[in-house]
Chains A and B, each alone.
Chain A
Amino acid sequence: SQKIEQNSEALNIQEGKTATLTCNYTNYSPAYLQWYRQDPGRGPVFLLLIRENEKEKRKERLKVTFDTTLKQSLFHITASQPADSATYLCALDIKGYGGSQGNLIFGKGTKLSVKP
């Protein structure tokens, strides 16, 4: 069966440390993998996208890796801050003709808490 799993429901780390979140999937062929941030009472907000032929993507303190052999993506936040506390969701953009198939399948998310 098709599954997307994020390694833990919750992750607690100390301010200044690097947070690493994991997203694993089975029986999907994603064209792209995306990461979203969700704050309480709000909808998810797009952060980063990585293509199937890319190994790594960076944006400021964020870094995403994508290993299509392992079927895994890692999401890193370096020098974490209390303001980074939120739920982070990975999403697969399933491969279709011409690129994206046009729908996003989400993992359940990991709730990150950064303590001062």
Chain B
Amino acid sequence: DAGVIQSPRHEVTEMGQEVTLRCKPISGHNSLFWYRQTMMRGLELLIYFNNNVPIDDSGMPEDRFSAKMPNASFSTLKIQPSEPRDSAVYFCASSSPPGAIWMKAFFGQGTRLTVV
């Protein structure tokens, strides 16, 4: 298995533009997570899905952020409009389903977003 695949690896965009980050989880994993990492705040959970359904989006900072999981093999995180303070590394992770004895998260390589 290729692991969790994220695209793009790097994104530079101007303030006000729409940004879409993409994630392909590991096949068979039922849970998918979006995290954001900055030096100041560390690794923050934004939202997670179980069986394609959003379970907890309390970490999504504002209405400018939205996430979808149209099927078991694909998810997007969209920021519209983007702002300089959104600059961070965004990670997608997938894991075995909740209710399993325990979960082990597999992370993608991340997308480094820079908003200028």
Q: Tell me whether A113 is interfacial, beta carbon within 8 Å.
A: no
Closest to B43 in A: A106
Q: Is the CB of A106 within 8 A of B42?
A: yes
Given contacts A43-B91, A100-B98, contact A93 B110 (CB under 8 A): no
Main SS at interface, chain B: strand
What is the total number of residues of chain B having a CB less than 8 Å from a CB of chain A? Answer: 30
Residues 88-106 (chain B) with a chain A CB within 8 angstroms:
91, 93, 95, 97-106
Interface residues, chain B, with chain A CB atoms under 8 Å away: 4, 31, 33, 35, 41-45, 48, 50, 55-56, 91, 93, 95, 97-110
Closest to B101 in A: A99
Most chain B Cβ neighbours within 10 Å, of A36, A43, A44, A96? A43
Smallest beta-carbon distance A112→chain B, Å? 16
Q: Is the CB of A102 within 8 A of B42?
A: no
Give the size category of A's interface with B: 20 to 34
CA distance A41 to B9 in the complex (A): 10
CA distance A12 to B48 in the complex (A): 35
User: A residues within 8 A CB of B50?
Assistant: 102
Closest to B91 in A: A43
Q: Is the CB of B99 within 8 A of A98?
A: yes
Residues 72-116 (chain A) with a chain B CB within 8 angstroms:
89, 91, 93, 96-109
Pick 29 A–B contacts, CB within 8 A, sort by A.
Answer: A31-B102, A42-B109, A43-B93, A43-B107, A44-B91, A49-B102, A89-B43, A91-B105, A96-B98, A96-B99, A97-B99, A98-B99, A99-B100, A99-B101, A100-B99, A100-B100, A100-B101, A102-B50, A102-B55, A102-B97, A102-B98, A102-B99, A103-B33, A103-B45, A103-B48, A104-B105, A106-B44, A108-B42, A109-B42
